[in-house]
Amino acid sequence: MVAAERGWHLAWLLLGGLCLIPATLPLSSLPVLNDLLPALAHHVLPEKARYSPLGYWLLLTLVWQAQRRWPVVSGPFLSLALRQDMLWYFTTMGLRLLFLGAWAHAVVALYTHYLGFLTLPGVAHWHPAAQFVLGVLLADFTRWLSHLIRHKVPLFWAFHSVHHSQRDLNLFTDARVHPVDRMVSSLITSFALLITGNGVPAVILWMLIETLYPKFYHANIRVDLGPLRYLLVTPQSHRVHHGVEHRYHDCNFGFLFSVWDRLFGTQHPEHRIWPATGIPDTDFPVEREDGVIGLLKTLGRQLVYPFLSLRRRA
């Protein structure tokens, strides 16, 4: 057992070394990436593709060790729920490559042609740090607002409820987002960075933050970050938001910062509770089948669920 564990640790360190290569070497020295990334440039920024593997490796290492020491619910790290949500993650990546990139370009074209007057005057001449802070605050506020809307409007909740259906929160639960739900969210939040005129480096940094940080607070770790909870969304506060009881659904809408919930009175006062998660709808196709075929069948049922739910309500 000790030898096997050492083997896993060695393999994990080797994987970390491989993730470090694209982040530190110029693309010209990596022919495969040099040819591949420009082809994906319309869908994934090449710089994000360079740094994301290392970011994911560091995050997985952090969460893996934290879950070993402070789990909310004891169980294997590679649970059935995590495998199902990993399938959601890879499906989402596929949709981004096939479709969501075009959606992003459509949003930018819409803003450029019809909403350019919303660009804040003079901001482009600010110090880049101040410009980035303003862009992050606006982006995070619009995240909070879009999250609130997707809870309050029944049509949008039908799709957003898929994200809330997970009973075993894990660091890939943030990927369990229906494509329709993601499109509604991205339409609202994309304008924040456009309004503040941030350049590519700032956009890359924000994209890395919004990709990695939600994985941390969706993870199965009993952490509330102490005094930082007054500023940031934490695994504890977001678990409350995912609570299966209806009273938890109308609180803790924050994406990165918790200040909006505190400012508008939607922050749940308790920071020492760890409720059961999920949605009360017994018709939701919870993952029970293992194996590739079982996971794919469950994914298909979960994608169709919002439409069936809306038909039942109609």
Q: Which residues of 280-310 are buried (b: 16+ CB within 10 A; e: fewer)?
A: eeeebbbbeeeeeeebeebbeebbebbeebe
> pLDDT tens string for the chain (314 positions)?
456 567 777 888 888 888 887 777 665 555 555 555 555 544 455 566 677 778 888 888 888 888 888 999 988 888 899 999 999 988 887 776 666 556 666 777 777 787 777 777 877 778 878 888 888 898 899 899 999 999 999 999 999 999 999 999 998 999 999 988 987 777 766 677 777 766 666 766 777 788 789 999 999 999 999 999 999 999 999 999 999 998 898 899 999 999 999 999 999 999 999 999 999 999 999 999 988 899 999 999 999 999 999 998 87
CA–CA separation, 172 vs 307, rounded Å? 24
Task: Name the residue with tokens 């350019």.
Answer: 116
Task: Name the residue with tokens 């096997």.
Answer: 4
- Pull the structure tokens for residue 39: 């082809």
pLDDT value of position 199? 62
- Pull the structure tokens for residue 271: 């920071």
- Pull the structure tokens for residue 251: 């609180």
Asked whether the beta carbons of 237 and 224 are under 8 A apart, the reply is yes
**What are the φ/ψ torsions at residue 299 (nearest 5 degrees)?**
-60, -45
Q: What is the DSSP letter of 77?
A: S
Q: How many CB atoms sit inside 10 A of residue 208's CB?
A: 16
